[in-house]
């Protein structure tokens, strides 16, 4: 029995003269499958609908519920162009975000808010690079955001390395009905530099550095005593690796992100997932995520009003406290044939100050839990 698989895969043993023949062979049209990678223009469109049902709670109180339907469409046109668009709608009800001193105040105090957001992006593909530009708009009854973005992707001739450069700018306007925030504005600039590298036939890695600069109104207007700095600089470094194991037919997805924050709420995040194909074109993806963050320098532990100094930034928002959080999720997907696909995802999230890496989580904070279910259906066309 002769095995040729390893010989064929070991292309570094290919002699120069065969490379000339291979190069001529590769010039034959359509001889290798066009990989569905970002640098090759998609040859088919895709439309997708998802519905997300989100609920969160803290011990003894139901908090917030969000129902979120959303659409996404992508379509190539005119030989070198791709248009993408998304439309999402959030229906929020329940109590506003958690504060360490307002547990009793939050129950019974409800908000009903709706948010609609949409964005459109156009990308033009050239030989060796692509350029994209997009606009985004988001509207809720107290918050309007308008933004635009541009991006440039450059890839090497063998398409194994891709460099990404993006910029996005957003101008937000905050106007609360009760006048606590009146014509407040916030401006955010995002810069992203990233590289994606195919390491082998079965492994690909991506590392992105994102620098976000915001200035303007950051306060939470629903709390009298919340005063945040009027600027924030965040540096996020995300590295992701996907590794396929042909013997098991499965794929391992790993991610690590470090965030350095000018508010001192630095954080680490690690996530691992495994995609396992099942018979009848099903696939399952369990995932586990761990997140840990420091407290913002202007976050103060209970009891209120410890640390509150007039004229100095202050927040009691537990989202800026020191805590750790776990997410456990499971995704089930199916390919129905004919371009139809469906997916169902359930994730469970729990935040506890005790879970902060290395200890020193913010004391006297109730654990926060959330669960979300997402159903989706998609069609290529």
At CA 20, angle to CA 14 and CA 23, rounded to 5?
A: 95
Whether the Cβ atoms of residue 378 and residue 86 lie closer than 8 Å to each other = no
Of positions 200, 306, 312, 360, contacts other proteins by CB under 8 A: 200
Q: With CB under 8 A, what is the number of residues at the site for other proteins?
A: 147
Among 154, 241, 330, 366, binds other proteins (CB under 8 A): 241
**Beta pairing class for 129-140 and 143-155:** antiparallel
Query: Of the two residues 43 and 178, which places its CB atom closer to other proteins in the complex?
Result: 43
Please state, as a whole number, how many other Cβ atoms lie within 10 Å of the Cβ of residue 16: 6
Q: Please report whether residue 225 would count as binding other proteins according to CB under 8 A.
A: no
Which among 187, 78, 165, 188 has a CA at the least distance from the CA of 122?
Answer: 78
Q: Which of 185, 184, 148, 193 is nearest to 166 (CA)?
A: 193
CB 354 within 8 A of CB 321: no
Q: Write the CA distances from 99 to 303, 311, 355, 368, integer angstroms.
A: 11, 21, 18, 11
Q: Tell me if 349 sits within 8 A of 371, measured CB to CB.
A: yes
Q: Does 42 engage in binding with other proteins (CB under 8 A)?
A: no
Interaction between residue 224 and other proteins (CB under 8 A) = no
At its nearest, how many Å lie between other proteins and the CB of residue 44?
9
Binding string, residues 249-268; x marks residues near other proteins by CB under 8 A? x-x-xxxxxxx-x-x-xxxx
Among 95, 106, 204, 365, binds other proteins (CB under 8 A): 204
The answer to whether residue 278 forms part of the interface with other proteins (CB under 8 A) is no
Among 122, 238, 308, 332, binds other proteins (CB under 8 A): 238
Contact segment (CB under 8 A) with other proteins among 3-11, 75-83, 122-130, 302-310 equals: 3-11
Q: How many Cα atoms sit within 13 Å of 259 on the Cβ side?
A: 20
> Which of 196, 194, 143 is CA-nearest to residue 170?
143
The one among 82, 95, 192, 316 contacting other proteins by CB under 8 A: 192
Contacts of residue 19, defined as CB under 8 A and 6 or more positions apart, other chains included, come to none
Whether residue 91 contacts residue 114, with contact meaning beta carbons closer than 8 Å, is answered with yes
Question: CB of residue 286 vs other proteins: minimum separation in angstroms?
Answer: 13
Pick one of 244, 284, 290, 342: the residue that binds other proteins (CB under 8 A).
Answer: 244
Cβ distance 302 to 317 under 8 Å? no
Report the C-alpha gap between 172 and 181 in whole angstroms.
12
Nearer to other proteins by C-beta: 108 or 279? 279
27 touches other proteins (CB under 8 A) = yes
Among residues 39, 58, 293, 353, the one that binds other proteins under rule CB under 8 A: 293
Site string for other proteins, 306-345 (x = CB under 8 A): -----------x-xx----x---------xxxx----x-x
Q: Which stretch binds other proteins (CB under 8 A): 122-130, 196-204, 303-311, 359-367?
A: 196-204
What is the rounded distance in angstroms from the CA atom of residue 138 to the CA atom of residue 147?
9
Of 130, 135, 132, the C-alpha closest to 120 is 135
Which of 82, 95, 106, 234 touches other proteins (CB under 8 A)? 234
For position 9 contacting other proteins by CB under 8 A, the verdict is: yes
Which of residues 291 and 314 has its CB atom nearest to other proteins in the complex? 291
Give the DSSP H or E segment for 46. strand 46-58
What mask of x and - would describe binding to other proteins in positions 126 to 165, judged by CB under 8 A? --------x-xxx-x-xx-x-xxx-x------xxxx----
Q: Residue 63 interacts with other proteins (CB under 8 A)? A: no
Query: Does residue 107 bind other proteins (CB under 8 A)?
Result: no
Query: Per CB under 8 A, does 26 bind other proteins?
Result: yes
The answer to whether 82 contacts other proteins (rule: CB under 8 A) is: no
């Amino acid at each position: 029995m002769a095995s040729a698989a390893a010989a064929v895969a070991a292309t570094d043993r290919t002699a120069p003269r065969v490379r000339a023949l291979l190069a001529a062979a590769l010039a034959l049209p359509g001889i290798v499958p066009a990989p569905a990678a970002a640098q090759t223009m998609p040859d088919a469109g895709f439309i997708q609908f998802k519905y997300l049902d989100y609920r969160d709670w803290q011990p003894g109180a139901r908090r917030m519920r969000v129902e979120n339907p959303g659409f996404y469409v992508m379509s190539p046109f005119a030989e070198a162009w791709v248009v993408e668009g998304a439309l999402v709608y959030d229906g929020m009800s329940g109590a506003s975000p958690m504060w360490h001193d307002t547990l009793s105040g939050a129950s019974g105090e409800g908000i009903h808010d709706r948010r609609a957001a949409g964005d459109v992006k156009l990308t033009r593909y050239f030989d060796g690079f692509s350029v994209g530009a997009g606009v985004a708009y988001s509207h809720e009854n107290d918050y309007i955001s308008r933004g635009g973005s541009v991006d440039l992707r450059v890839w090497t001739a063998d398409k194994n390395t891709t460099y990404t450069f993006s910029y996005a700018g957003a101008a937000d306007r905050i106007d609360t009905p009760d006048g606590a925030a009146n014509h407040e504005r916030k401006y955010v600039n995002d810069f992203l530099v990233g590289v994606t590298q195919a390491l082998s036939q079965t492994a690909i890695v991506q590392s992105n550095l994102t620098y976000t600069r915001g200035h303007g109104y950051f306060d939470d207007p629903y709390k009298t005593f919340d005063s945040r700095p009027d600027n924030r600089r965040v540096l996020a470094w995300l590295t992701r690796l996907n590794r396929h194991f042909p013997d098991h037919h499965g794929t391992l997805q790993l991610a690590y992100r470090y965030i350095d924050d000018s508010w001192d709420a630095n954080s680490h995040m690690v996530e691992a997932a495994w995609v396992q194909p099942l018979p009848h074109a099903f696939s399952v993806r369990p995932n586990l995520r761990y997140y840990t963050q420091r407290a913002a320098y202007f976050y103060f532990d209970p009891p209120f009003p410890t640390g509150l100094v007039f004229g100095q930034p202050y927040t009691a928002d537990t989202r800026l406290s020191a805590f750790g959080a776990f997410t456990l999720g499971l995704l089930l997907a199916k390919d129905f044939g004919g371009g139809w696909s469906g997916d169902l995802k359930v994730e469970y999230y729990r935040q506890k100050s005790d879970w902060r890496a290395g200890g020193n989580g913010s004391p006297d904070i109730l654990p926060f839990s959330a669960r979300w279910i997402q159903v989706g259906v998609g069609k290529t066309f």
